[in-house]
């Protein structure tokens, strides 16, 4: 289990307890938790609709792969704190992270 704080589109923050033993990535968990997130391509890093901003804990995450960089490059509003939630496999190191949902909906 890890605790991650999620800020929705209205600016409301909520701390969520997330299982790390189910092989989920962050996009899948956010979608399952009924956050408004399109995730058009279903997790292939091919649409950038699961764009999130990491408010705290960017250093806890692994490197972006080229495909993720490539998709983030297509977004008008991405910056250095941007990630695609579908590329973030949930793991214990992510405990305490704060993220904000950004992708269009």
Residue ranges that bind other proteins, judged by CB under 8 A: 36, 38, 40-41, 44, 46-49, 66, 69-71, 73-79, 104-105
CA distance 39 to 84: 10
Least distance from C-beta 43 to other proteins, angstroms?
A: 11
Phi then psi for 73, rounded to 5 degrees? Answer: -65, -25
CA distance 38 to 60: 25
CB-wise, 1 or 65, nearer to other proteins? 65
48 torsion bin: left (phi>0), alpha (psi -120 to 50), beta (else):
left
Least distance from C-beta 50 to other proteins, angstroms?
A: 12
CB-wise, 20 or 81, nearer to other proteins? 81
Least distance from C-beta 22 to other proteins, angstroms?
A: 19
CB-wise, 56 or 104, nearer to other proteins? 104
Alpha-helical runs (H) found in 6-103: 26-32, 66-73
């Amino acid at each position: 289990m890890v605790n991650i704080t999620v800020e929705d589109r209205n600016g409301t923050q909520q701390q969520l307890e997330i299982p790390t033993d189910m092989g989920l990535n962050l996009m899948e968990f956010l979608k399952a938790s009924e956050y408004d997130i399109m995730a058009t391509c279903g997790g292939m890093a091919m649409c950038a609709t699961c764009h999130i901003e990491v408010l705290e804990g960017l250093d806890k995450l692994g490197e972006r792969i080229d495909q993720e960089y490539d998709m983030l490059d297509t977004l008008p509003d991405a910056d250095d704190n941007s990630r695609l939630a579908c590329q973030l496999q949930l793991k214990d190191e992510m405990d305490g992270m704060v993220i904000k949902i950004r992708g269009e909906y």
